[in-house]
A and B are shown apart, each in its own frame.
Chain A
Amino acid sequence: GENVEQHPSTLSVQEGDSAVIKCTYSDSASNYFPWYKQELGKGPQLIIDIRSNVGEKKDQRIAVTLNKTAKHFSLHITETQPEDSAVYFCAAGGSQGNLIFGKGTKLSVKP
């Protein structure tokens, strides 16, 4: 079935460093790739998304890149801050009209 692999499962960085989270997907028909941030006690919140006709998208300190040939996409956070600490999920828009989520990455930013 459709699958999304996410790595790493945990990531610890020093404040000010960059963080990169990578995902691969199996369904070549996927055309929508959102990233969600989940803080403790809250539901996931969309932070950035990209569609298959675009290779890269940036929003301030956050950027996402997509390689459709290799079926992988990545989240890049620059100049990390303690408030970036959270669990991040990638997802791929499946051919069935639903979203398939990765298992999540727990990011810790140390002051």
Chain B
Amino acid sequence: EAQVTQNPRYLITVTGKKLTVTCSQNMNHEYMSWYRQDPGLGLRQIYYSMNVEVTDKGDVPEGYKVSRKEKRNFPLILESPSPNQTSLYFCASSLSSHTLGQPQHFGDGTRLSIL
């Protein structure tokens, strides 16, 4: 089954404790992206990757890191999490970038709580 898999689905942690949210897709997609969703703000892009070893900042990249060493994986790293990073996070992938008009496939989300 074609899917985007995020782990963990839920995490409660403390300020400053490094964490990684993994994202994996099995559709051989080139484009992957991370979003955060907050009430009243919709989906805001954190980082995206057009292909392996190519990553770019989205609208809200501060406090986050990403890497794209393999085509299928795109982990999101919070080196020193803070309470304002408490949010619902989504990973998404598409065949290529949206200049070509490709739909994005989303994972089911990771709810992070930073105390």
**Which of A58-66, A78-86, A89-97 is the interface stretch?**
A89-97
Is A44 close to B, CB under 8 A? yes
- Residues in A with CB closer than 8 Å to B67 are none
CA distance A103 to B42 in the complex (A): 4
**CB pair A34 B42 closer than 8 Å:** no
Given contacts A32-B101, A97-B99, contact A89 B43 (CB under 8 A): yes
- A43, A44, A97: which contacts B98 (Cβ < 8 A)? A97
Given contacts A46-B104, A51-B101, contact A101 B33 (CB under 8 A): no
CA distance A44 to B45 in the complex (A): 14
- Residues in B with CB closer than 8 Å to A42 are 108-109
CB B101 to nearest CB in A, in angstroms, measures 4
- Residues in B with CB closer than 8 Å to A6 are 42
Is B74 close to A, CB under 8 A? no
- A1, A43, A49, A51: which contacts B106 (Cβ < 8 A)? A43
CA distance A90 to B107 in the complex (A): 18
CA distance A55 to B31 in the complex (A): 27
CA distance A99 to B101 in the complex (A): 10
CA distance A55 to B90 in the complex (A): 30
**CB pair B43 A31 closer than 8 Å:** no
CB B45 to nearest CB in A, in angstroms, measures 6
**CB pair B42 A102 closer than 8 Å:** yes
- Residues in B with CB closer than 8 Å to A93 are 98-99, 101
Query: Which residue from chain B places its CB closest to the CB of A33 in the assembled complex?
Result: B101
- Residues in B with CB closer than 8 Å to A45 are 106
Query: Which residue from chain A places its CB closest to the CB of B44 in the assembled complex?
Result: A101
Given contacts A44-B90, A97-B50, A98-B33, contact A89 B42 (CB under 8 A): yes
**CB pair B43 A34 closer than 8 Å:** no
Q: When A and B form their complex, which 5 residue pairs have the shortest distance between CB atoms, in order from nearest?
A: A43-B106, A32-B101, A97-B97, A93-B98, A103-B42
A contacts, CB < 8 Å to B: 1, 6, 31-32, 34, 36, 41-46, 49, 51, 89, 93-95, 97-99, 101-104
